[in-house]
Amino acid sequence: MSSSIRRWVETDTGHRVPNHKSKCRHFHGHRYRWEAELEGEVVQEEGVSEEGMLIDFGDVSSILEEHIHDVVDHAFVVYERDEEAIEVLSGLSSDHRTVVVPFIPTAENLAKWAFEQVSPHIYSSYGNKLRLSAMHVRETPKSWASWHPPTQ
Ligand SMILES: [Zn+2]
């Protein structure tokens, strides 16, 4: 029997979709929500802090803060081959937070990126098969994308 939990963090992050047919090619930003979904078995070990949980929500939050929030909050995410945008951003002061990525920063691609940021940090010492099962990224209140790793 497996259970799942979700925890999210939000950031204010800029991007653009350089080839987009309409307004998404302009520099703009979103209040992104990055939601981690974890699966595993509830810890049965008596007397430990995690008894009855998959993992402490606070521990998931700390991982999301460090590996998502602190990387892209109040930052501009730019595709490494978006030369026009790279040129503009490189003219800003050196403390401007620019995150260059090897993909067009759509919600779909950002969900996969976020999964790869977070997944290595999700583990448990209780043998409860804890794993990150998906990352969900909300770009607008009506628009979400999810990344699920391929099943092995
Ligand atoms: Zn956008």
10, 41, 69, 121: the catalytic one is: 69
Q: What distance in angstroms lies between residue 5's CA and the mean position of ligand 1's atoms? A: 27
Q: Is 83 labeled as catalytic in the residue annotation?
A: no
* pLDDT mean for each 10 residues of the chain (152 residues): 95 95 93 98 95 96 98 98 96 93 98 98 93 97 96 70
CATH assignment of 3-147, given 3.20.20.20, 3.30.420.40, 3.30.479.10, 3.90.1530.30? Answer: 3.30.479.10
Q: Judge whether 116 counts as a catalytic residue.
A: no
Q: What is the pTM of this model?
A: 0.95
CA dist., res. 26 & res. 46, Å (int): 55
Sign, CA torsion 64/65/69/70: negative
139 tagged catalytic: yes
In angstroms, how far is the first alpha carbon of the chain from the final one? Answer: 19
Which is nearest to 105 in space by CA: 4, 10, 14? 14
Q: Which two tokens stand for residue 81?
A: 């081959």
Dihedral pair phi/psi, residue 20, rounded to 5°? -65, 140
Looking at 24, 116, 121, 148, which residue is catalytic? 24
- Sequence spans of domains, the chain: 3-147
